[in-house]
Structure 1
């Protein structure tokens, strides 16, 4: 006899779980938190996610990777990818307090999982390294096209932007004020002139 048919979309469940992980982190998120957010019972949860909470967390991280993939497509099609990167950072000064307090799921994961879970740490690090490669590509392109005066190595500048991103996700929690953040963003982006 077959059980009840699945009547939910797995990606939607992952999105709901991702919000909980983003707020609380992996360790502080309980199964009850996930079930409540996903609005499913434990039987359905384990039938869908045989690896339990770890599988759901891994899929939540991969969902962020897909967001990066969409950004990559945009960059590759842009006439000025360096301006697109600047616009991305500038847009952060237009978000709400709650979003600032969340920070970045990927950065949060690296901080939480270093010395705790190598697999999760490695997954998150690989996402930031992909982002770094996009920055390097965009910076090299801008330098070659004469759109940047700064001729510092694209690798160094790409790593700088990852450092900026990681640090920004701490300072936005300290100062969830768009005017303060706007000034900080412009100062950091001046290196890309």
Structure 2
């Protein structure tokens, strides 16, 4: 949804017939943070109302139900995640871009505020493979991440930064698995330990 988009809704605490305007993306960000902290099943509609400052009718009026709120939260979260990955990979060509991207994950995976993991990873662990709709959403994100990594590998191969014999798609999937693994292992490992993993990974690409 457009960041400037606003929605009008009627809350029970407001004067009858008087709409309240709110920024939809800010509401999605608040629901995203709540799902991130508590997980989907443990989050109630009352929790989401408290986090967003909106009444049930307003939330249902914009999103439809709790499941759609999670889908909207995943969409907003993944847009940011894909943009950051793309920016890091493109900031420097080939090897240095991948190195920068991987170091980003060592930091966020081990930071005090991110010890709970990430919304994508946590949702995958909680809801897959039982929920086909969520599964499709997360698979699409992972495949986009892998495609970005594969492009960076090919670029590195053209400049002899990486082994020309590497299968770019398989190697990208390997890096994706490592990134998601750091998201989980970072709950208990230090940034220094994950940086050692990154250094070993780059040697594998030689």
Equivalent pair of 1:110/1:125 in contact (CA under 8 Å): no
Aligned match for 2:193, one of 159, 173, 180: 180
Kindly state the Cα deviation for residue 60 of structure 1 after the two structures are TM-superposed: 0.8
RMSD between aligned residues: 2.3
Secondary structure in 2 matching 1:8: strand
* 4+ long deviations beyond 6 Å: none
Which residue in 2 is equivalent to 1:8? 22
TM-score by length of 2: 0.81
Greater relative CO (CA pairs within 8 A, separation 6+): 1
Equivalent pair of 1:148/1:192 in contact (CA under 8 Å): yes
| CA distance 1:185–1:147, change in 2 (3 Å) | closer
Which residue in 1 is equivalent to 2:43? 29
Which residue in 2 is equivalent to 1:98? 113
More helix by share: 1
**Structure 1 residue runs without a partner (length 5+):** none
Equivalent pair of 2:124/2:138 in contact (CA under 8 Å): yes
| CA distance 1:155–1:185, change in 2 (3 Å) | same
Paired residues in the alignment total 190
Higher mean displacement: 120-129 or 79-88: 79-88
Kindly state the Cα deviation for residue 28 of structure 1 after the two structures are TM-superposed: 1.5
The answer as to 2:177 corresponding to 1:157 is no
Aligned match for 2:144, one of 106, 112, 130: 130
Kindly state the Cα deviation for residue 72 of structure 1 after the two structures are TM-superposed: 6.2
